Amino acid sequence: MQLSFLAAVLLFGISADAFPAKHASPEPFLTQLDGSSWTLGNNVWNLTQESTYGVKLMYKGRDCVGDAAGHYVSYNGAASNLNWTSASITKRGTYRGKKFIDIAFTAVEGDMHWVVFAGMSGAYQYFVNRALPVLGEFRTLWRLDNVTFTRGRTDIKDEELPPLKDYIPQNKVQDETWLRPDGSGYITKYDFTAWSRNQDFFGVYGEGFGSWYINPGKDYYNGDHLKQELMVHRESATGDVVQLNMIHGTHFMASSKDLLPEGKIWGPWLWYLNDGDKEDVAQRAAEEFQSWPYKWLVDEEYHSRGIVTGRLTLSDGRPASNAAVFLGDPDPTKTTLDMGTDYYYTTYADKSGRFEIPNVRAGTYGLQAWSNGSSIADVSTTFLVNKVTVKKSKRTNLGHLTWKLSPKEKLFQIGEFDRYSYGFSHGGAPYQHGLVAACPADLTYTVGESQTSDWCFGQTYRGNWTVRFRTSGIRESAAPELIVSLAGYASGASSNIFANGVQLGNMTSGSAWLPSDPSLYRSATAAGEWHLLRFPFDKSLLKDGWNDLTFNMVRNTTWHGFMWDSVALEC
């Protein structure tokens, strides 16, 4: 009598470790080992999956997990790991001459799919929501062997991961952040942060091995153009090398609480294995971007997509050159960064204000736009057109859209309105912990004499930052208004604002209109959660000649404070 592999396992007690390192057939497979463990893969790689963790990844004759935790899915700050109760092949097919199987691992919260093609180095993955709670954080990830994988790569950073020996307990200064043993700076996992929607590919690699994520379709991500996330790092407690896939992330946001519809799909993305060759994965990434949306996925709603086009012109006749354009929730009640319930699309207008957003899922959206600097850097308002309907295989042409501007004149402006700290001293520097400490406690900026770079990107010390500016002949009908655009704000700081010694207002934590985000103390130097604050005041406070506007920091916390986008005075 010939026994099946599963029968042999049950009868003779063959362990999961006995499964061959290389499957003989090139065809993809799923094999159940016992009631709570399976193997899946093809002749290139295979993974032993237990009820929570994928514990053994065989590739090129090596277990790439080793003593690390392996592959798992979790939500809301790693408080909840998903537990798989069953696994099954939901579809078998052939695409472009290659056989594939779609495997679903089922948990109470939803189904994690692995789409394994014959001979492929890696697999496509996607997750289908069934009963996830209000999120927060949702991620898939690998924790891999730290001898095999020694470097991390995003589109803006590529270097060795810090050695575990440098994580000295007495040198810890905050969450996952340590002073280096030689005192030269800091080690922190947040230095491997990058802009989520800009990624071509990211992952970890070493001599002869590479594990990568390629996410060509990013419409399932929460947030807008300014969404940034931690991509890779070393787990300080164990030394595991971590490859994160933050498909619903919160690391640099003030808040994120999204109730998710049943059936929402995150993905598919490609998890890709190679020998660590970045040119190879770059070529593969280009192919994946060209192939998205994936035709092999059988899902009618996934393929129900249209195109949104339009042209933005400012009310003064200028084209909205290079404006950031975002397609998100209709009747918006959240900031664009905080949106995360459904699907979201980003692009930039061209120099004439035209934009096109292809492959938009059918549905109803709200379209917003804002200045991305350059020729419209003076624009502080946000454009909104609501209830944009997208239909399958149709073009939704919004036509010529007029973006209304403030009728007031600017007396001065420091920095561009673009929601970033670019242009200021240290603004947009490489991610690094504690850079805001390099900004001064006291600063004087003289309009017409000082340069944008004389203003620092963040204010964290108690002291006075003063703007000196001239006025003359202010018209009778003038109604002055100070505009403060913050690229980010971390709690524990409070600033009083004065015009010629008279207080106009206050910026402080604990207020509903200024929620805190972790950007400044988590290595960000360009943006966190954007805030636009307006402080109107009586024109009698201004005088002909020199005037002073002062930000008086009266309470501070180390590495916390204000990250600037722009400061302007209108009248």
Q: What is the pLDDT of residues 98-125, one digit of tens each?
A: 999 999 999 999 999 999 999 999 999 9
- φ/ψ bin of 267: left (φ > 0), alpha (ψ from -120 to 50), beta (otherwise): left
- Mean pLDDT value across residues 397-411: 95
CATH of the domain at 443: 2.60.120.260
Q: What is the pLDDT of residues 357-377, one digit of tens each?
A: 999 999 999 999 999 999 999
Which residues sit opposite 68 in a β-bridge? Answer: none
Q: For residues 387 and 439, state if they share a domain.
A: no
24 falls in which pLDDT band (50, 70, 90)? low
Q: What is the pLDDT of residues 451-461, one digit of tens each?
A: 999 999 999 99
Task: Give the domain-ending residue among 266, 291, 316.
Answer: 291
The pLDDT > 70 percentage for the chain reads 95
pLDDT at 78: 66
- Domain residue limits at 355: 305-403
Rg (CA), the chain: 26
With b for 16 or more beta-carbon neighbours within 10 A and e for fewer, the 189-209 pattern comes to bbbbbbbbbebebbbbbbeeb
Q: Is residue 298 part of a domain?
A: no
Q: For residues 368 and 428, state if they share a domain.
A: no
DSSP assignment of 215-265, as one string? ----TTS-S-TT-EEE-EEE-TTT--EEEEEEEE--TT-S---BPPPTT-E
CATH of the domain at 160: 2.70.98.10
Q: For residues 285 and 368, state if they share a domain.
A: no
pLDDT at 1: 33
Q: For residues 267 and 321, state if they share a domain.
A: no
Helix (H) or strand (E) holding 430: none
Q: How many residues are given for the chain?
A: 571
pLDDT at 487: 98
CATH of the domain at 368: 2.60.40.10
Q: Is residue 2 part of a domain?
A: no
**Into how many domains does the chain fold?**
3
Instruction: Tell me the two tokens of residue 106.
Output: 């089922």
With beta carbons less than 8 A apart as the criterion, state whether 425 and 457 touch. Answer: yes
Give the whole-angstrom CA distance, residue 362 versus residue 212. Answer: 30
Q: Is residue 290 pLDDT above 70, yes or no?
A: yes
Give the whole-angstrom CA distance, residue 223 versus residue 221. Answer: 7
The answer to which of 18-22, 122-126, 290-294 has the lowest mean pLDDT is 18-22
Q: For residues 239 and 132, state if they share a domain.
A: yes
* 410-414 vs 305-314, strand pairing mode: unpaired
Which is nearest to 241 in space by CA: 329, 148, 177? 148
Q: For residues 281 and 331, state if they share a domain.
A: no
Q: Is residue 367 part of a domain?
A: yes
Q: Is residue 11 part of a domain?
A: no
pLDDT at 474: 77
Which is nearest to 134 in space by CA: 80, 175, 196, 84? 80
Q: Is residue 13 part of a domain?
A: no
Q: Is residue 10 pLDDT above 80, yes or no?
A: no
Q: Where are the beta strands (DSSP E) in 275-344?
A: 305-314, 324-328
Q: For residues 468 and 558, state if they share a domain.
A: yes
* Peptide bond between residue 515 and the one before it cis (omega within 30 degrees of 0): no
**Angle at CA of residue 237, ends 233 and 239, nearest 5°:** 55
**191: helix, strand or coil:** helix
Give the whole-angstrom CA distance, residue 112 versus residue 102. Answer: 10
Q: For residues 275 and 147, state if they share a domain.
A: yes
With beta carbons less than 8 A apart as the criterion, state whether 154 and 278 touch. Answer: no
Q: For residues 373 and 417, state if they share a domain.
A: no
Q: For residues 32 and 96, state if they share a domain.
A: yes
Q: Is residue 27 part of a domain?
A: yes
pLDDT at 9: 33
pLDDT at 77: 72
Q: Where are the beta strands (DSSP E) in 373-530?
A: 383-390, 395-403, 410-414, 443-446, 458-459, 463-471, 481-490, 494-499, 502-508
What is the largest distance, in Å, between two alpha-carbon atoms of the chain? 102
Task: Give the domain-ending residue among 248, 266, 291.
Answer: 291
Q: For residues 359 and 431, state if they share a domain.
A: no
Sole residue written with tokens 């600037």: 564
pLDDT at 445: 98
* Peptide bond between residue 136 and the one before it cis (omega within 30 degrees of 0): yes
- Mean pLDDT value across residues 12-32: 59
CB proximity list for 256: less than 8 A, separation 6 or greater = 135, 136, 137, 222, 248, 249, 250, 338, 340
Q: Is residue 412 pLDDT above 90, yes or no?
A: yes
Q: Is residue 528 part of a domain?
A: yes
Instruction: Tell me the two tokens of residue 445.
Output: 């900026």
Q: For residues 385 and 503, state if they share a domain.
A: no
Task: Give the domain-ending residue among 291, 326, 359.
Answer: 291
Give the whole-angstrom CA distance, residue 255 versus residue 261. Answer: 19
**444: helix, strand or coil:** strand
142 falls in which pLDDT band (50, 70, 90)? very high
Which is nearest to 370 in space by CA: 524, 566, 534? 566
Q: Is residue 337 part of a domain?
A: yes
pTM of the model: 0.93
